């Protein structure tokens, strides 16, 4: 487990789980939202995102949390050795996301 892709709906505990996995396996943690969005939720152009994303994927070890555009999902699938899907019933995601707010 050296290149880990984590996906799932909002409110499922992905970030909490990712941080625990990173501690347990000494992996650097990256959230796709941090390279996808600028302040005030302004989306980064695809070319800039692709460069940032490719730079992360070229590293030897990582855990990437989130979706992003479909091209980035496909690139991560090709580069990762582990996929973690957080898939609770929808009401759990909704409840946890609401409680978080």
Span 81-92, pLDDT tens digits: 999 998 878 887
Span 39-71, pLDDT tens digits: 999 999 999 999 999 999 999 999 999 999 999
pTM over 0.95: no
Q: What percent of the chain has pLDDT over 90?
A: 75
**Which are the contacts of 39, defined by CB distance < 8 A and separation ≥ 6?**
none
Superfamily of domain 3-100: P-loop containing nucleotide triphosphate hydrolases (3.40.50.300)
**Tokens coding 64:** 């990437």
3-state secondary structure of 68: coil
Domain spans in the chain, listed from the N-terminal domain onward: 3-100
**Which are the contacts of 93, defined by CB distance < 8 A and separation ≥ 6?**
8, 9, 10, 11, 12
Match 């499922």 to its residue by tokens: 12
Quick check: 1 and 23 in contact, CB under 8 A? no
Mean pLDDT over residues 5-24, rounded? Answer: 89
């Amino acid at each position: 487990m050296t290149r880990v892709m984590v996906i799932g709906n909002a409110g499922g505990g992905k970030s909490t789980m990712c941080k625990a996995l990173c501690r347990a396996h000494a992996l650097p943690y990256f959230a796709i939202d941090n390279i996808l969005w600028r302040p005030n939720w302004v989306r980064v152009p695809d070319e800039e995102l692709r460069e940032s994303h490719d730079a992360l994927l070229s590293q030897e070890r990582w855990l990437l949390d989130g979706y992003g555009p479909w091209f980035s999902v496909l690139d991560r699938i090709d580069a990762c050795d582990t996929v973690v899907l957080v898939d609770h019933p929808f009401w759990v995601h909704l409840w946890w996301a609401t409680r978080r707010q």
